[in-house]
Structure 1
């Protein structure tokens, strides 16, 4: 019985050091330059370039909403890899980014704060890599109207 227990412990230790074992990270997303404390902040975290920034068809995307009075949101247990974050300030709390003639009327922001000209940035411009125990992304909100 004792030999069986020590074999099980050795096997468990071996599994934690095997190459290819997927590590996990914690991510903090801090939001700054909010225009007001009205409504909600909607955050989308995705590893899928095809579903950035909307995360609509991404079953593995993580979306969260926090009151606009809060400035930070945390994600735990994320597998190491490449991600991008999109944030909207849903001031009227209607669960979408309001636009006028295609121009956002509410605030928006992205991980790594890439330049925004016509339309949202590509995944590659907002991409960051989680490869350690913890990471932090600072997202600066932008308002065009």
Structure 2
């Protein structure tokens, strides 16, 4: 009887440790550092929006998880997002040369300011889908590079 009790206590301890380690992994907060290359000039600011799903990606401001606008000082420019749970994300970047917070375009709808997306998908006639720009945050530090495009 005593031996069976010891085995049960040992099993409970092992299961408790496993459950704790899985919940600890799921609840950590990671950091994402985005390196932005290809700036045409140092005018204005660079704004980065991070999304957690296809809903609203890449331009719905109401669906943005975190947003940062940074004055351009050095190139390449680094922007850091903190407190990210493990999961899939996509980042949209604009080179906001006139500091108005939006990606300006000409009469034909062609962007007149620089832009870029995580995973650097091919951009031709429209913005990429979330899946084309998605990447995984699965550790305490994730680093990605985004190459800006200008038309």
Q: TM-score surpassing 0.5? A: yes
User: Which position in structure 1 is the counterpart of 2:57?
Assistant: 52
Aligned to 1:4: none
Mapping 1:51-70, distance limit 5 Å:
51-58=56-63, 61-70=65-74
Aligned counterpart, 2:92: 86
Is the contact made by 1:38 and 1:69 (CA closer than 8 Å) also made in structure 2?
A: no
Q: CA deviation at 1:23?
A: 2.5
Residue of structure 1 in register with 2:149 after alignment: 142
Q: After superposition, what is the alpha-carbon deviation per residue over 1:54-96, rounded to whole angstroms, capped at 9, x for unaligned?
A: 14221x6101000122400111110000000000000011111
In the alignment, the residues of structure 1 paired with residue 109 and residue 93 of structure 2 have an alpha-carbon distance, to the nearest angstrom, of: 17
Q: Which runs of 5+ in 2 are unaligned?
A: 1-12
Which has the larger strand fraction? 1
User: 1:31 Cα shift?
Assistant: 0.4
Gaps of at least 5 residues in structure 1 are 1-9
* 1:128 pairs with 2:135: yes
State how far apart, in whole Å, the 1-side matches of 2:65 and 2:33 are.
Answer: 16
Give the TM-score of the pair, scaled to structure 1.
0.84
Residue 37 of structure 2, aligned match among 32, 36, 45? 32
For these two proteins, the number of residue pairs brought into alignment is 132
Q: Which runs of 4+ in 1 moved over 6 A?
A: none
Shift of 1:16: 4.4
Pairwise mapping of residues 2-21 of structure 1 onto structure 2 (< 5 A)?
A: 16-19=20-23, 21=26
Residue 46 of structure 2 corresponds to which residue in structure 1?
41
Counting helix residues as a fraction of each chain, which structure ranks higher?
A: 2
Q: Which residue of 73, 80, 96 corresponds with 2:79?
A: 73
